[in-house]
């Protein structure tokens, strides 16, 4: 294994991002020829105004009107609770770089100014924000000082786990420390976040700052530092079209130092007014709102409603000088609240290039995984499943990649037989593992020959197999593939959790799905190790006539002697109805020398109606248990 440099921005590495306007009549092409501005227009009750046309808007660049070149209204699908809870709780294990989706980008920032006494309220606000997410919304959890961030994902379990860390929402002091000179670290983090999402197109971007104060003004020796940090944050927010909402978890304050006081002191009153004013500054600047009171989480449904509908406006910029230029959007509707970006960086600026590729690493592939967003020249699907290695000190992560060449017209759609000749061809592959702080830990690269597999509707794809050896922990996996035959590169980001096989009394590998009979796959390295006797597939959609099985490994830790147990497997449909159940008794003699046993389970696809399903497997030994889930669908 080799190591390469950390790829981190604002402590957050971002997973696959979806962008699509609901009305497809207008296409916003990537490039410098059109600047797009997503605009929310709210009435006096902060409800979206839905009946506007391009003629109702005026766009000003540096104070001068610019013709509107493109206009698209966007309406997100209504928030409906699915009939099965697992459709919310169980995220797909197969990650894609498909960007043809609608949704929001939501960042939850737990600030250092949350007092220990207010931590429960702060966490309640953060959890309530996650509960409001729609299926195609992407969210991230970050901290100004304390806590391990969670990158952008649709996986609610990961987001809630980041929020519920023991140190999340806690602080040791509300003043300036050596790690937060003059209290500017909140503004600095907001600037970094805004810069990180600036180039994301046609999505509403919401930043929820949960804290009791934001240092936007100061006196004395800190005045200059705070002023500069504030100006940087305002410019970054304006360029990114980031709407800021501030949540004060401290509740209503009496301003009385003790019960014997009949009125607040002037100093305490002024300090509280200044604190409230500080929290309101960024929301007022971006069209968001600051939320105070004893139940700030109650405002979240209304806040999410504000971004359910918006407009995307495109105009041709007048400048190509690489500088920042102001944008002002006006609407011919009195009494409304308008949220829109306040500027853009013109073409001609030196691009924000990724970190240089380490020696010996393919520079093009490195660039494809060094950015905040995956590249979509090739459609990719990634699964990652940990398998315990001998000795239980590490795991061989089984990585499967599905590669879909672009159609003749380009874009991230599945390739067709007519667009690219389906034959064996070499593919260049790079796979890296990163911890949650963005530090790189391992990578594999190589060139392999891949055979195409025919799919439904005359499409075809390539499937690849690789592995990374990693120690217990949580990781982000990034993979890039270059197909030189069509001159395209794609990348995809996913996650993997590796149990501590030694200390956990019982643990499970990831669930591998495989076709029977197995189909050949291109292998980047020696792929898996001896216990794996199957060839997994990244596919999660199957026909009723397919023969598909699940493979997994059950491990018992070293803390006690080997014990018998049970393995429970069930399949639930979209209505939470159990359509399959199997209970297996395991004996101590079934466990091998590696304190592990392997199991296979055929999926009863022929008995399942078209729809979505979840396979859940739970292993129990005594009072200990472990569980894994995998979603799939039948067509």
Q: Which domains does the chain have, with CATH numbers?
A: 36-64+102-253+273-345 (3.40.50.410), 363-634 (2.60.40.3880)
- pLDDT at residue number 450: 74
Neighbours of 455 (CB within 10 A): 16
pLDDT at 200: 79
Best CA proximity match to 208, nearest among 131, 116, 271: 131
pLDDT value at residue 479: 94
Task: Look at residue 235 in the predicted model and tell me its pLDDT.
Answer: 92
116: closest CA among 169, 155, 70?
169
Q: Contact 215/186 with Cβ under 8 angstroms?
A: yes
Distance CA 145, CA 319 (A): 39
CB half-sphere exposure, 590, CA atoms < 13 A:
16
**What are φ and ψ of residue 615, in 5° steps?**
-100, 125
Q: What is the pLDDT of residue 27?
A: 35
Q: Are 605 and 544 a contacting pair, CB within 8 Å? A: yes
User: How many helices and strands, by DSSP H and E, does the chain display?
Assistant: 8, 33
Q: How confident is the model over 578-615, as pLDDT tens digits? A: 999 999 998 888 877 778 888 899 999 999 999 999 99
428: Cα within 13 Å, side-chain hemisphere: 16
pTM value > 0.85 = no
Pairing of strands 473-483, 425-434: antiparallel
* Residue-level pLDDT at 7: 31
What pLDDT was estimated at residue 266?
A: 56
Cα–Cα distance for residue pair 435/223, rounded to 1 Å: 37
Q: Which residues of the chain have pLDDT under 50?
A: 1-32, 169, 172-177, 409-420
Q: Please, what's the b/e burial string for 390-410 (b: 16 or more CB within 10 A of its CB; e: otherwise)?
A: eebebbbbbbbbbbbbbbeee
Using DSSP bridges, classify how beta strands 522-523 and 460-470 pair: parallel, antiparallel or unpaired: parallel
C-alpha 553, offset from chain centre? 28
Instruction: Tell me the two tokens of residue 280.
Output: 């309101």
Q: Rounding to the nearest 10 degrees, give the CA dihedral for residues 407, 408, 411, 413.
A: -20
Token pair for 527 = 């792929």
């Amino acid at each position: 294994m080799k190591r390469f440099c950390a790829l981190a921005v604002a402590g957050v590495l971002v997973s696959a991002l979806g962008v699509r306007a609901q009305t497809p009549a207008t296409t916003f092409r990537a490039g410098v020829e059109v600047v797009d501005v997503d605009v929310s227009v709210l009435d006096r009750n902060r409800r979206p105004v839905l009946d506007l046309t391009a003629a109702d808007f005026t766009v000003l660049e540096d104070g001068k009107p610019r013709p509107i070149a493109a206009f698209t209204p966007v309406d997100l699908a209504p928030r409906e609770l699915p009939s099965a809870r697992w459709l919310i709780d169980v995220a797909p294990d197969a990650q894609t770089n498909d960007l043809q989706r609608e949704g929001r980008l939501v960042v939850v920032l737990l600030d250092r100014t949350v007092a220990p006494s207010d931590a429960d309220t702060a966490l309640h606000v953060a959890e309530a924000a996650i509960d409001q997410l729609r299926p195609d919304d992407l969210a991230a959890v970050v901290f100004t000082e304390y806590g391990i961030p969670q990158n952008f994902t649709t996986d609610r379990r990961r987001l809630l786990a980041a929020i519920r860390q023991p140190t999340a929402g806690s602080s040791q002091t509300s003043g300036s420390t050596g790690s937060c000179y003059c209290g500017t670290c909140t503004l600095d983090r907001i600037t970094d976040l805004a810069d990180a999402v600036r180039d994301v197109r046609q999505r509403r971007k919401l930043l929820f700052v949960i804290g009791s104060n934001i240092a936007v003004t100061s006196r004395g020796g800190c005045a200059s530092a705070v002023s500069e940090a504030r100006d940087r944050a305002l410019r970054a927010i304006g360029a990114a079209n980031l709407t800021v909402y501030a949540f004060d978890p401290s509740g209503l304050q009496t301003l009385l130092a003790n019960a014997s006081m009949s009125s607040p002191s002037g100093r305490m009153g002024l300090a509280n007014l200044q604190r409230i004013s500080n929290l309101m500054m960024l929301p007022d600047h971006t069209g968001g709102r600051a939320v105070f009171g004893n139940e700030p989480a109650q405002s979240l449904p209304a806040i999410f409603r504000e971004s359910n509908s918006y407009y995307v406006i495109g105009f041709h910029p007048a400048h190509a000088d690489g500088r920042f230029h102001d944008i002002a959007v006006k609407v011919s509707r009195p009494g409304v609240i308008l949220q829109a970006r306040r500027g853009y960086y013109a073409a001609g600026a030196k691009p924000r290039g990724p970190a240089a590729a380490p020696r010996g690493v393919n520079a093009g592939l490195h660039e494809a995984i060094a950015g905040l967003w995956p590249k979509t020249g090739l459609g990719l699907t990634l699964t990652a499943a940990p398998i315990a290695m001998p000795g239980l000190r590490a795991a061989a992560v089984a990585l499967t990649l599905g590669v879909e060449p672009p159609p003749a017209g380009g874009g991230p759609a599945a390739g067709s037989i007519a667009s690219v000749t389906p034959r064996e061809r070499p593919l260049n592959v790079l796979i890296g593992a990163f911890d949650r702080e963005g530090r790189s830990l391992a990578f594999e690269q190589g060139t392999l020959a891949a055979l195409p597999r025919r799919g439904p509707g005359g499409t075809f794809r390539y499937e690849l197999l690789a592995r990374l050896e990693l120690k217990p922990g949580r990781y982000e996996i990034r993979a890039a593939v270059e197909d030189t035959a069509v001159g395209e590169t794609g990348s995809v980001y996913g996650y993997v959790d590796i149990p501590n096989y030694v200390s956990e009394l019982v643990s499970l590998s990831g669930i591998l799905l495989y076709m029977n009979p197995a189909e050949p796959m291109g292998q980047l390295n020696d792929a898996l190790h001896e216990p794996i006797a199957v060839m997994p597939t990244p596919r999660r959609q199957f026909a009723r006539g397919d023969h598909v099985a699940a493979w997994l490994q059950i491990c018992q830790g070293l803390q006690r002697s080997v014990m018998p147990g049970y393995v429970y497997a069930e399949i639930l449909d979209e209505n939470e109805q159990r359509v399959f159940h199997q209970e297996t008794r395991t004996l101590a003699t079934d466990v091998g020398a590696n304190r592990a046993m392997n199991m296979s389970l055929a999926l009863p696809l022929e008995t399942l109606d078209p729809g979505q399903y979840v396979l859940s497997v739970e292993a129990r030994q005594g009072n200990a248990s472990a569980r894994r889930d995998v979603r799939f669908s039948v067509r």
